[in-house]
Amino acid sequence: MSFLRFIRGFANTQKNKIEILKFADKDGAYRRLPSQFRNAISREPNAEFPPDLNRYHLYVSFACPWAHRVLITRALKGLVQALPVSVVHWHMDENGWRFPTKEELLGLKNGDISVGTAEPNYGFERLKELYFKANPEYNGRFTVPVLWDKQKETIVSNESADIIRMLNSEFNDLLPTDYAQVDLYPENLRSRIDEINDLVYDNINNGVYKTGFATSQEVYEKEVKKVFAHLDKVEQIFKTNQDKNHNDKFLTGTTLTEADVRLFTTIVRFDPVYVQHFKCNIGMIRYQYPYINDWLRLLYWKIPAFKDWTNFEHIKKHYTKSHKAINPHGITPVGPIPDVEIE
Ligand SMILES: N[C@@H](CCC(=O)N[C@@H](CS)C(=O)NCC(=O)O)C(=O)O
């Protein structure tokens, strides 16, 4: 690292008041902060960030459910080649996400992504260096995913919900027809998708974090009950759909949509991580939720974008070895086996 970069990094650390590994507020509750980079790739004429098959880069963690949404959408839309990805190391420390060191990468076989991938655009060691390159005054959390513009050298967006919408629609003119036709947010299902997203986002996707990061018994109990009450509601959605039509396997019926992608990234982590690490243990998906479990197995085993972009090594190691306040010895539980039940 150059001396100048070291000094800049140090100054930035002093400026940034957020304690990376401290999640709950004084009252014991975890509150997720809004993402700060909210620009968009758009195919509107003269857009600031037009679609381009060579211009953007994605930074993700394989452990992160929000980044996972983007990875799956990218694969479903056939954007894997056009939008290269860099993967941070699964371990997050008091300076946030980092890229693997040269030593860690030494001797690894081609394609071995067990420690992530090196940062290819600037040789950065930390994700936060990208944030400060985009905005030297940045004062938020250094989260993944990050959608980076190599031309303007800035962050287009660090909000996964927005990024998946961009990938779904804005590259279509540049894609082969079969991928352009994949629509995860079809016009006729939008209100139902929005309704399900609302239910799932706060109570399930974020609900497991509010449960796991709680530092008071009252907050924990309130949140864990809310997670399971809403899993019950989702189970009921699947049941009602299938009582009407046996082939309605997805959340909105026969069509796979972003609502499924957004729910999947939490459900696939549920039994292997959230049950024990976040104490979401009133039940398990595989034993208490037969409809959700069937849907999970369908997505994971039958639609390659889901299994291909799910990495249980990163998922399990990240949570259990990064959150020292929750798991001081960093022991990663072996089970449950298998991670997802066989189809
Ligand atoms: N709203 C963001 C949330 C992303 C997020 O919270 N990512 C986590 C990993 S799962 C992160 O990078 N956390 C680092 C930190 O908070 O310091 C999105 O959906 O894109």
In a domain, 119, yes or no: yes
Active site residues: 64, 209
ipTM value greater than 0.95: yes
In a domain, 203, yes or no: yes
In a domain, 39, yes or no: no
Of ligand 1's listed atoms, the one at least distance from the Cα of 144 is 12
End position of a domain, from candidates 153, 181, 209: 181
Of ligand 1's listed atoms, the one at least distance from the Cα of 161 is 19
Of ligand 1's listed atoms, the one at least distance from the Cα of 96 is 17
Which residues are annotated binding-site positions for glutathione? 97, 141-144, 159-160
pLDDT value of position 17 = 57
- Pocket lining: 212 vs ligand 1, CB cutoff 6 Å: no
- Pocket lining: 226 vs ligand 1, CB cutoff 6 Å: no
Of ligand 1's listed atoms, the one at least distance from the Cα of 64 is 10
In a domain, 101, yes or no: yes
3-state secondary structure string across the chain: CCHHHHHHHHHHHHHCCCCCCCCECCCCCECCCCCCCECCCCCCCCCCCCCCCCCEEEEECCCCHHHHHHHHHHHHCCCCCCCCEEECCCCCECCECECCCHHHHCCCCCCCCCCCCCCCCCCCCECHHHHHHHCCCCCCCCCCCEEEECCCCEEEECCHHHHHHHHHHCCHHHCCHHHHCCCCCCHHHHHHHHHHHHHHHHHHHCHHHHHHCCCCHHHHHHHHHHHHHHHHHHHHHHHHHHHHCCCCCECCECCCCHHHHHHHHHHHHHHHHHHHHCCCCCCCHHHHCHHHHHHHHHHHHHCHHHHHCCCHHHHHHHHHHHCCCCCCCCCCCCCCCCCCCCC
**Protein residue with its CA nearest to atom 11 in ligand 1:** 143
End position of a domain, from candidates 145, 162, 181: 181
Of 60, 86, 127, 144, the one to substitute when testing ligand 1's pocket (max ligand atoms within 8 A of C-beta) is: 144
Per-residue tens of pLDDT for the chain, all 343 residues: 455 554 555 455 545 556 767 788 888 888 877 788 999 999 999 999 999 998 999 999 999 999 999 999 999 999 999 999 999 999 999 999 999 999 999 989 989 999 999 999 999 999 999 999 999 999 999 999 999 999 999 999 999 999 999 999 999 999 999 999 999 999 999 999 999 999 999 999 999 999 999 999 999 999 999 999 999 999 999 999 999 998 899 999 999 999 999 999 999 999 999 999 999 999 999 999 999 999 999 999 999 999 999 999 999 999 999 999 999 999 999 999 999 999 7
Does 297 lie in the same domain as 228? yes
**Boundaries of domain holding 72:** 56-181
Report yes or no on whether pTM surpasses 0.90.
yes
Q: How far is the CA of 317 from the centre of ligand 1 (A)?
A: 17
- Structural domains of the chain, count: 2
End position of a domain, from candidates 181, 210, 242: 181
pLDDT value of position 14 = 46
- Pocket lining: 145 vs ligand 1, CB cutoff 6 Å: yes
- Pocket lining: 100 vs ligand 1, CB cutoff 6 Å: no
Domain CATH code at residue 235: 1.20.1050.10
In a domain, 43, yes or no: no
Q: How far is the CA of 240 from the centre of ligand 1 (A)?
A: 33
In a domain, 77, yes or no: yes
- Pocket lining: 143 vs ligand 1, CB cutoff 6 Å: yes
Of 17, 66, 206, the one to substitute when testing ligand 1's pocket (max ligand atoms within 8 A of C-beta) is: 66
Does 170 lie in the same domain as 207? no
Contact 327, 277 (CB under 8 A): yes
In a domain, 318, yes or no: no
Domain CATH code at residue 138: 3.40.30.10
Does 163 lie in the same domain as 78? yes
Does 205 lie in the same domain as 165? no
In a domain, 104, yes or no: yes
